[in-house]
Structure 1
Amino acid sequence: MTPALEQARTAGIACTLHEYLHDPGAASYGLEAAEKLGLPPEQVFKTLIVKLDGNQLSVAVLPVTQQLSLKQMARAAGAKKAVMADPAEVERVTGYVLGGVSPLGQKKRLATFIDASARQHATIHVSAGRRGLEIELAPGDLAALTDALFMPLAMN
């Protein structure tokens, strides 16, 4: 049981767990999940942590097929600048290892933004807190559990 799964189950939301054998040599954890689970890649979302204006951390959740626009992320968060957070800081603050960072059950609650494209799907898949484990849930439920806003985050 991961903190992400525990948060979802405690909240009583409808979710499904999907497990696959993770390949440590995979180039993209998200695309690996889509491929091994036979899912449309645009329905599998990755969790990225960014640093806003040099000090505040925030969470971006977007399709694994897209690249995060740091400019869009800063705009969504009302910040002037966004940069990718340091990997060691990401692991320390979230409690998860890279490739297994979930938007749910993080050690410290961070402002969270979900790419607006998530609303096009009845359910999306996000990391359940470790590599090789995905949780499927409705985008609205993910937003409710993380107090997230839906915003355009991907590069055009």
Structure 2
Amino acid sequence: MDMLKELLQQNDVDYEWISHDRPIRTAQEGAAMLGIEVGQTAPTLVLKSENGYMALILSGSRGRIELKSVAELVGCSQLKMAPPHEVEQITGYTVGSVPLAGHALPTILDRELYRHSSIYGGTGVGTNTLKIKPADLEKLNQVIAFLPALPE
């Protein structure tokens, strides 16, 4: 948590740190708790490929993601969700609390997030949420690809 705050401050990023009394488990739950649109929620998923691990930061409005198309986008033969014990081993965080930045993984960002002025995602602590602009999130991560926005 302190490392993420330090990263945000070092990069002169505007952000809001929101505390809540219980962890958020789904995009719908987060949207209701924070009073935002589901599309503004931005979970960080950890994926595993033959080339290693990467983060995928999605808009909550995307629903299920087709990992085969994401694998093609990043030039991997196969992508799958990293098992929870590997997520913790690689990032130091549990599934559901992986922060939006500071995880040191190559990152795939969802262009759908750019439809919103602010997005909300993990901080590394289940009872805290980070509010940040999508462009700042891009600046803080090693972005290797973008998922195209959904058709309107």
The TM-score with structure 2 as length reference comes to 0.87
- 8 Å contact from structure 2 (residues 102, 140) kept in 1: no
User: Could you tell me which residue of structure 2 aligns to residue 105 of structure 1?
Assistant: 102
Q: Secondary structure at the match of 1:93?
A: helix
| Distance (Å, rounded) in 2 between the aligned partners of 1:87 and 1:2 | 23
| Distance (Å, rounded) in 2 between the aligned partners of 1:36 and 1:6 | 26
Instruction: Provide runs of 4+ in structure 1 moved above 6 Å.
Output: none
| Unmatched segments (≥5 aa) in structure 2 | none
2:118 aligned residue (117, 120, 123): 123
Query: What RMSD over aligned residues (CA atoms) do the two structures have, in Å?
Result: 1.9
- 8 Å contact from structure 2 (residues 112, 149) kept in 1: no
User: Could you tell me which residue of structure 1 aligns to residue 59 of structure 2?
Assistant: 63
| Unmatched segments (≥5 aa) in structure 1 | none
| Distance (Å, rounded) in 1 between the aligned partners of 2:149 and 2:124 | 22
User: Could you tell me which residue of structure 1 aligns to residue 137 of structure 2?
Assistant: 142
| Distance (Å, rounded) in 1 between the aligned partners of 2:149 and 2:85 | 23
Q: Deviations over 1:26-47 (max 9, x none)?
A: 7x34332222111111101111
| Distance (Å, rounded) in 2 between the aligned partners of 1:131 and 1:68 | 23
- Name the amino acid aligned to 1:95: G
- Name the amino acid aligned to 1:12: D
Q: Deviations over 1:38-62 (max 9, x none)?
A: 1111101111001113x51011000
| Distance (Å, rounded) in 1 between the aligned partners of 2:36 and 2:140 | 23
Residues 34-45 of structure 1: pairs in structure 2 closer than 5 A: 34-45=31-42
